C-alpha cells in the first residue's frame, strides 16, 4: 500500500508534457481572433471564458498563445481569496516558470472594469505582465485605477469558479497559502505535497 501511494504521488507531481513552443516566449506572438472562447476543464468541473481582443489586445494575444500551447494545463489555482479573486498561471513545471518569469508584456489601457467574473492579468508593477491571471469573485473596481485591464469574462460555469478551494487563504508570507517563489522553483511537487487540497486545471483549450 505504501508503495502504491508513493507511485500515485510521483505521477501527480510529474512534470506535465508541454509544447516545445513554450520554451521560446518571443516566438509565441500570434495575433488572437477578435473574440474567442477558452474552455477550462478543472478538478471541480468546466468553465468557459470569452475573450474580447478590443478590451485589452496585448493581454488577449498573450493569453491566446499560452492557452493554444498548453501552458495552463495542470496548473493549480494557488491563490483563492473568498470574495476577492482566484489567481492562477504559474506553471506546474519549474522549467517553464524559469523561461516565462521575465517574459513581460506591455500594459493595456483599462477599458473594462474588474467586475465579477472578469479575468485580468496580475502584475508586479507597470509593464510586468507575464502568465499569471485572476478572475474576480466580486466587484473589484478599485483595481481599475491601478492598471489592471480585464481582457475577458466567464460566460459559463461561474459556479465552478466560486467552488474552487479557498481554505488556504492568502499566500505566504502574508497568509498560510503557497509561497509564489517556491511554486516557481519547485512546481507542482511543492503544491501537491504541502497544499494537496488546491483545485487545478486539467486542460485549457481554445473552443472551435
Residue 66 has pLDDT above 50, yes or no: yes
Written as nine digits, the cell of 33 is 481572433
Cα-based torsion angle of the residue sequence 129, 178, 9, 71 in order, rounded to the nearest 10 degrees: -10
Tell me which of 12 and 170 has the higher pLDDT.
Answer: 170
Alpha-carbon span 158 to 181, nearest angstrom = 29
Quick one: average pLDDT of 98-126?
A: 97
Give one DSSP letter per residue of 117-145, joined into a string: TEEEE--SSTT-B-S-EEEESS--GGGGG
Q: Which CATH architecture has domain 2-206?
A: Beta Barrel (2.40)
pTM of the model: 0.90
Of all residues in the chain, what percent are helix, strand and coil, respectively (each to 5)? 30, 25, 45
pLDDT tens string 146-200: 999 999 999 999 999 999 999 999 988 888 899 999 999 999 999 999 999 999 9
Confidence band of 18 (pLDDT split at 50, 70, 90): low
Instruction: Using alpha carbons, select from 56, 77, 51, 79 the residue that is nearest to residue 174.
Output: 79
Burial of 199 (C-beta count, 10 Å sphere; 0-12/13-18/19+): buried
Quick one: average pLDDT of 31-45?
A: 98
Amino acid at each position: 500500500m505504501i508503495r502504491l501511494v508513493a507511485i500515485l504521488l510521483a505521477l501527480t507531481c510529474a512534470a506535465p508534457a508541454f509544447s516545445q513552443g513554450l520554451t521560446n516566449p518571443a516566438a509565441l506572438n500570434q495575433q488572437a481572433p477578435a473574440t474567442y472562447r477558452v474552455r477550462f476543464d478543472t478538478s471541480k468541473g468546466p468553465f468557459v471564458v470569452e475573450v474580447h481582443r478590443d478590451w485589452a489586445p496585448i493581454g488577449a494575444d498573450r493569453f491566446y498563445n499560452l492557452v493554444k500551447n498548453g501552458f495552463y494545463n495542470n496548473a493549480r489555482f494557488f491563490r483563492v481569496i473568498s470574495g476577492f479573486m482566484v489567481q492562477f498561471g504559474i506553471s506546474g513545471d519549474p522549467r517553464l516558470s524559469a523561461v516565462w518569469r521575465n517574459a513581460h508584456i506591455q500594459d493595456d489601457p483599462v477599458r473594462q472594469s474588474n467586475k465579477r467574473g472578469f479575468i485580468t492579468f496580475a502584475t508586479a508593477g507597470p509593464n510586468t505582465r507575464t502568465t499569471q491571471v485572476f478572475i474576480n469573485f466580486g466587484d473589484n473596481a478599485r483595481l481599475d485605477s491601478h492598471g489592471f485591464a480585464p481582457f475577458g469574462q466567464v460566460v459559463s460555469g461561474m459556479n465552478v469558479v466560486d467552488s474552487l478551494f479557498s481554505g488556504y487563504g492568502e499566500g505566504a508570507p502574508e497568509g498560510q497559502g503557497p509561497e509564489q517563489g517556491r511554486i516557481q522553483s519547485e512546481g507542482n511537487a511543492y503544491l501537491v505535497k504541502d497544499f494537496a487540497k488546491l483545485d487545478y486545471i486539467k486542460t485549457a483549450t481554445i473552443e472551435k
